[in-house]
Each structure stands twice: as C-alpha cells, then as structure tokens.
A and B are shown apart, each in its own frame.
Chain A
C-alpha cells in the first residue's frame, strides 16, 4: 500500500507479483539492521551472534505475509524469537519449601538490591499473603541496613534488628532462627553489592548460601547495563548459583538488551522487573514488552499482524497504480481512510510505531485522531460521485453544501481538498521519478500522517 509508495516504491510490482518466500538476500539485509539494533540495545556480542544465526536459519524460506515487506517479516521472526528466548513469562517466585522460605538477593553494587528487597517483601505480603522477615546482610555500604529497616517500616513488614559488628553469615543464621521461632513464611536476605571478580566476597555469599540454602537466589541486575552484564551474570551463576533474575530500572529509557544476555548466559528465568521508585513498582516479567524495547521498533509486529488481517491487498494495488498515473481521486482517498480506520484507533495505531513516543505532543498538537478521519470521510461522502472524481468542479456553492451536509465548515472542506491535491501531485511525481529517493521528496502532510505514511514503513535501509 502506501508505505510502498512512500518508502520503497520501486519494488512494488516486483514484490507484489514475484515474492512468495524470504530469500537469503532479504534476510541478510534485514539481519544487518537487526544486528545493529541489538548491539545498540546492549545485547552482548556473543549473544547477538548466536541469535542472528538462529534467526537466519529460521527465516530463510519462510513465506512472507501478503501485505508485509520482507524486512518487516524478518523483524517479526526476530521478535518472536526474542520473546521465546526471554521467556517463560510466568516464572513465579518459588515458595515451595518448608517455611520459613529463604530468598537471597545478590548482585553488583548499585543494582537495586535493597530497594528490590523492600518491593519483594511488599509483593509477597500483599499478593501471596505471606508473613515476611527482612534481613540486611550488607555490612559494607554505610547505612544499608538502616535503609532496609526504613523500607520494611514503609511497606509494613518486619525486619531483623541489626546487631553492631555482626557478619553476614551470622546475620543470616539469626534471621532464619528468628523466622522459625516467630512463624514467618519467608525471609528475604539482602546481601551487599559485590563485584563478580571479588573472590573473597563471592566466597562469603556462597557461605551464606550454604548456611540458609535459599529456595531462591535472585540476581538483581540493572536494565541499564552494558556488555558486561553477561560476564556478571555468568560469574554469579557459576560461583553462587542463581535461580532467577530481577531486572531493575525498566522505567528508564534503556533498551534493556542486558536482559537477553543474562537470560541466555545463565538459562535462568527473569522473574520480576522493577518499574519505578514506589515500593509497589514491581511486576512480573513480560517478555513481549522487553522484546519490543530491545528491537527499538515499537510494536511493529502487532502492526504487521493487524495489517495482514485488514488490508485488502488487491484493492491497494489498484489504487496505487491509478495514483501513479495521477488518477488519485477523492474516492481513493476515502478508501484509504476506511482502511486506516479498519486497523484500529489512530492513537493506538500510532503508539505502535517506533519512535512515536517522542512525537506524542506533536500528534496531539496536530489534532490527528479518529475524529479527524471520520470528519474527512463525512466530507467525501457528502460529495456527489462526479465531484469525487473531479474535484475541480467544486465551486464555493458546492463547498458550502458539502460542509453543511457533513456537519463541518468550508475551511475543513478546503483543507481536505488541499491535502488531496498535494497527495495527488506527489504521487504523480513519484510515478515519474520511479525508483529512487522518494522519502526526501515528501513534504510533511500536516494533519494526515496516516495517509502520507499509509502502512508505515519500518526503519529498514536496504543495503
């Protein structure tokens, strides 16, 4: 449809007629882009390489959905594969042990362990109805134990009173004894941040592990992490043995590729994610959400699927051919509007597009919405068939009649006609230009991006 016109017109007939399955060349071109996207998202290089190999095998030969470009198809395969690798989604905190169930949090300095301990305590109490004891084992960072005490108070969970000078193993023992004696269901052990290469401190946490035999050893890791995430996760898994991952700072604007690296490196499920500073901002892991972020492509996949369901390819093709000969009529425009509307509400549709988050304000300012489209449809419907095919005959009187008929103003009618004229000219120009550089020649069409873009192209630069 019009994404072809706006981005890759030259390929259109080619694609419509010939292409049934993804060729190696299609896949290779798309995968180069995917590689960059993954690296920019901080997925570790080794994981990127494995991943690309898997996808390449998967993708070659797969049928391309009728209304989708090969690039988009590869993105969908990549996305599905990402979700698969990031999953499973419903990995719950394991509480299947005789109470009190020990849960130990480990990780680097500043990953968010103490805050997560507070959030997890609140989560287990409110959602699982458990009586939780918080124990601060961090004797290295100044005031870390005080921090946990305050958090415990805030969420209304009991904390083990720190004893000055007590060492982590001793604290862990005392926590378990206290919990047993006082009938707690679970004990959350907040350990000090440590570097995975700090042998002494890793031994210490292993000793704590041997003392309490935790049902869960959760690696708390920052979603902002870079390439080193994979090293860290591996080291913690090798030396302490982890059972799951908690991903923090998901509310930041990082792409979160570290999640994939750590998942791949340890084989441990991502169980929870921290989504804000408030103490209830802890959610169960959603692979879908992270996969979309890692690709940085919004929900292109959802869009592709929607397009496949709703757009009538043959109709679109006919329109496109006519348009290129400069025969883009208001009827065609109406057809366009109807197609866009079929795909769902405008805001929702736009929010699926990559990079649109930043544009929200502009969208609001431009006043694009379902209403705009409905009004524009009404204007066209209030015209006679003759008028729709030949807008030139629309004089002031006819315009007034159309405005009255559609419940809009003459200005609205004029605006629509102007837009239509611009679009028709543009398409004619594109028809002449043929294959190259269409995007550059497109003026912004205020108020009607859905039409200028049609089915929006994903960021895909054929190389």
Chain B
C-alpha cells in the first residue's frame, strides 16, 4: 500500500486542526454551554474544573488552572472568549517550556534515538513517520527492529523502511534485543548513517524484568558509544488517562528519558494529560502524531496546542 505524499506544510497544520478540533469541539461545547457572560463564582469555577478534568488534565492541574483564573477574574463578569483566552494562556505557559523539535546532531554518526513506551502506544508507527521526515531532509537513516517479541513487529518496520528508503536492521524473533541493538549500532557507525532509530518492544512500566531488559539494552549499546542513546523518546498514547503519570515517572526513573511523543491526537481523545505531565515532569515534547500516514508527525507547538484544545482560532 502506498500513501500519496501530500503537501507537507499545509497538511501538517490542517491535520493538527482537524485532529484537535474534535477535542476542542467537545471542550467548546461545554464552555459555550457554561458561559454566556456569567459571574465567575465558586460554582462556575467548579464547572470549569470539571471540564478540564473531562479533558484528562487531571484533578490537580485542573485545580491549579482554575485557581489561577480565580485569582485574576473572581467575581467579575466573564465571557466564553475571555475564559478560553485565560485558560489557553495558562496552559500555553505550562507547555511553552517543553516544546522542543527533534533536530539530529550532525556531528554524531549516527545520532542514536531510542523509542520506548507501553504496548500499543505507537512506537513503530512513530519511527516510520520520523524516518519519513528525516529521509525527506536528505538524512541517511537506519532502523533497528529491537522489538523481537511482538509477532511481525520487524515486518512492520521493514515496510516502513521500504516506504522511506531507510535500511532496516532485523534479526529472528526472540533474539536478545541488546545484542541486536549492539549490531545495529555497529552497522550504522560503519556506514556513518546520520540517524539510528531504535524500536523496542512495548512494555508496561510495572513489569520489572522487562524494564531491566531495556536498561540492559542501553548498557550494551554504551559499550560502543558511551553517549548513546543521544535521545531517548517515550511514546504516549493521547487516549491514556492518569496512568500516564506512572508511565512517565517509572520510565524516566529507570532509563534516562529525554522527551515525549504524544500519538493519536487525531482522535476524540483530549490529550490533556500532556498539560499535567508538563506541569509535573517538565519533560520536553518532541513531536505529536496526528494520523496513520507518513507525514502525520509534527513538531509540538505549545500555543497552537493550547489554542486548539480550547477552540481558539489562530489569526
């Protein structure tokens, strides 16, 4: 199957909008129903808090945001637009510092990127999309099929390799991922590839033995390059709820996670948990996924995300 290559930039923006607008439609509907110039009192604040909770922001972040709103606007008459603006400001303020595009370091041959996360979060697909973006920029990319557990994970990556013109390094199912990664890194170095993207098997963060396997994989690749992986990205599904906190906490405690990728933002899921995560962990957000096609990976823009979340049209 081949996907038509759409105009990249226009595609990005419109996709983000169409993805996030569903999120904001919900939030919007709620907000509009709530606020036709009302007095911002305790009851209204509580309703606002509920709306933010329903967007997966979580209780403490929701409270933090409404408290902030109360500080500036309590007991004043307020319109929907003003509430949206104020909330978007507050959210953008939290998210601003974490927005960080992925730029491979040209002095590294290769720049090693390790992907990790729970099962089904979208690691392999994200790698495919990132490979697409990198090869389009003229980079040479090697993909390492480090998920030797899930059936046909290597085949899935292989297809992405064909689509993007990247070399895929894979071994038999059940191979020790550490040894595979060792060989993949050796190969990528020999070819002085620009980027090595390493896929890993999905693992739930409470599975100690699987987390240990991931630690071992990293230790082993450091035998070749002490500084690898240069970027360790944790992939999160936008539909995830408050368990995202546990996922991020445990992964970053056990391995050195550099940043996040939030996937599946084109659904009805709010992705609001990202605000809570940024508030709590301050981990950079490198990219967001807004579809299944090659070009559906975008760099993360805090203001745009906040605006879209609250249904504010960009000027």
Contact = CB atoms under 8 A, between A and B. Distances in A.
A197 interface: yes
Interface in A234-285: 235, 249, 251-255, 257-258, 277
B239 A225 contact: yes
Interface stretch (B83-91, B154-162, B184-192, B252-260): B154-162
A195 interface: yes
Given A226-B273, A249-B119, A40 B242 contact: yes
A451 B160 CA distance: 61
Interface in B148-176: 149-153, 155-156, 158-160, 173
Interface stretch (A41-49, A92-100, A303-311): A41-49
A109 B242 contact: no
A144 B56 CA distance: 30
Contact of B241 (A42, A111, A147, A151): A42
Interface in B34-65: 50, 53-56, 58-59
Interface residues of B, number: 49
B312 interface: no
Contact of B54 (A112, A144, A227): A227
B129 interface: no
A232 B204 contact: no
Interface in B253-304: 264, 266-270, 273, 292
Given A36-B59, A222-B120, A277-B149, A227 B206 contact: no
Nearest to B247: A224
Contacts of A46: 54
Interface string A139-162: 111111011111100100000000
Interface in B229-255: 237, 239-244, 246-247
A324 interface: no
Contact of A45 (B50, B119, B207): B50
A140 B292 contact: yes
Given A142-B155, A253-B246, A226 B239 contact: yes
B177 interface: no
A115 B201 CA distance: 14
A251 B204 contact: yes
Contacts of A258: 241
Contact of A109 (B206, B247, B264): B264
B246 A254 contact: yes
Contacts of A151: 151
Given A143-B159, A197-B268, A229 B239 contact: yes
B10 interface: no
A231 B119 CA distance: 22
Name, among B122, B152, B205, the residue most crowded by chain A CB atoms within 10 Å (CB to CB): B152
B158 A252 contact: no
B1 interface: yes
B111 interface: no
Contacts of B246: 253-254
Interface string A368-399: 00000000000000000000000000000000
A141 B268 contact: no
A226 B204 contact: no
B193 interface: no
Nearest to A228: B269
A249 B155 contact: no
Given A109-B264, A235-B268, A143 B273 contact: no
Contacts of B15: none
Nearest to A112: B120
A40 B60 CA distance: 10
Contacts of A229: 239, 241
A300 to B, nearest CB: 21
Contacts of A252: 118, 204-206, 243
B22 interface: yes
Nearest to A109: B264
B173 to A, nearest CB: 8
Interface string A103-122: 00000111110010010000
B121 interface: yes
Which of A111, A151, A277 counts the most B-chain CB atoms under 10 A from its CB?
A277
A143 B246 CA distance: 30
A257 B53 CA distance: 14
B103 to A, nearest CB: 27
Nearest to B269: A228
Contacts of B292: 109, 140-141
A110 B120 contact: yes
A141 B156 contact: yes
Contacts of A253: 204-206, 243, 246
A125 to B, nearest CB: 18
Contacts of B247: 224
Contacts of B239: 108, 222, 225-226, 228-229, 232
Contact of B268 (A41, A118, A228): A228
A109 B158 CA distance: 19
B242 A255 contact: yes
A108 B243 contact: no
Given A142-B156, A142-B159, A255 B243 contact: yes
A39 interface: yes
Interface of B: 1, 22, 26, 50, 53-56, 58-59, 118-122, 125, 128, 149-153, 155-156, 158-160, 173, 204-207, 237, 239-244, 246-247, 264, 266-270, 273, 292
18 contacts: A110-B121, A110-B237, A139-B1, A140-B1, A142-B156, A147-B150, A151-B151, A195-B266, A197-B268, A225-B240, A227-B54, A227-B56, A228-B268, A252-B206, A253-B243, A255-B243, A257-B241, A277-B149
Given A118-B151, A149-B152, A225-B240, 14 more contacts: A142-B159, A143-B153, A143-B159, A144-B152, A144-B156, A150-B151, A150-B173, A224-B243, A225-B239, A226-B56, A232-B267, A249-B120, A251-B204, A252-B204
Interface of A: 36, 39-42, 44-46, 108-112, 115, 118, 139-144, 146-151, 154, 195-197, 222, 224-229, 231-232, 235, 249, 251-255, 257-258, 277
Query: Which 8 A-B residue pairings sit nearest by Cβ, starting from the closest?
Result: A226-B241, A110-B120, A42-B241, A150-B151, A147-B152, A142-B159, A254-B243, A143-B155
